[in-house]
């Protein structure tokens, strides 16, 4: 059983006129359905904290896969469902077309939808026994030197277990979402 949706954040791709226009149309429709709806450009959407009074029940992203990944990363730990309407080029994650929103949102508001969980990985970058950066990612993480292609020495650990030492230009670690995108971009099969 899904939680009843009474509050929605509509995150529009910043600077994208069609996404902003459709966002206003969807906002009016949601309000007619008795739902609170707030439109926020993706550049201004900050991480909302648990217990925050403005925490939505649902997030609708109007943009491309990159916009959806950035927004999903900001709300990942809160357990808020995220859906994307495709205004990008690829549409692997934002597969809903702009013309399909009303029928699909009607189903969502009636609780007739299926959640598809995604893996989120955490990371810490440590230098000389000090953590210099940490976070989480849904798609991929790239570690290397910025700009110049010079070798770096890396030690990769997983759950406090040393996996390997290596010298390389860098390393890319990806989740199943990220590896599928890499395979498709290279003309390979979807994994």
Answer positive or negative: Cα dihedral of 27, 31, 34, 40: positive
C-alpha distances (whole Å) from 173 to each of 75, 111, 133, 144 are 21, 35, 16, 12
Answer positive or negative: Cα dihedral of 31, 36, 41, 42: negative
The Cα–Cα gap between 141 and 125 comes to 11
146 φ/ψ angles, rounded to the nearest 5 degrees:
-80, 135
Decide if 24 contacts 101 (C-beta within 8 A): no
Is 65 catalytic? The answer is yes
Strand partners, 136: 122
Exactly one of 65, 140, 160, 169 is catalytic; name it: 65
Find, among 30, 35, 39, 34, the residue nearest to 61 by Cα.
39
Hey, what long-range contacts does 120-124 have (CB within 8 A, 24 or more apart)?
120/73, 120/76, 120/77, 120/175, 121/173, 121/175, 123/173
Active site residues: 65
């Amino acid at each position: 059983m899904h939680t009843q949706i009474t509050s929605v954040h509509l995150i529009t791709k910043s600077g994208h006129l069609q996404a902003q226009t459709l966002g206003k149309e969807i906002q009016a429709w949601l309000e007619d359905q008795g739902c609170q709806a707030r439109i926020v450009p993706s550049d201004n959407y900050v991480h909302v904290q648990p217990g925050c009074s403005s925490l939505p029940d649902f997030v609708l992203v109007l943009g491309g896969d990159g916009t959806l990944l950035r927004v999903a990363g900001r709300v990942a730990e809160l357990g808020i469902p995220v859906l994307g309407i495709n205004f990008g080029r690829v549409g692997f994650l934002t597969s809903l077309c702009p013309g399909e929103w009303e029928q699909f949102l009607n189903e969502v508001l009636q609780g007739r939808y299926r959640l598809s969980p995604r893996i989120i990985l955490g990371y810490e970058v440590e230098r000389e026994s000090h953590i210099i950066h940490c976070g989480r990612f849904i798609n991929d993480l790239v570690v290397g030197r910025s700009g110049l292609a010079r070798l770096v020495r890396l030690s990769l650990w997983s759950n406090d277990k040393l996996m390997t030492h290596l010298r390389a230009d860098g390393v890319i670690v990806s989740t199943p979402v990220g590896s599928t995108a890499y395979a498709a971009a290279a003309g390979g099969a979807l994994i």
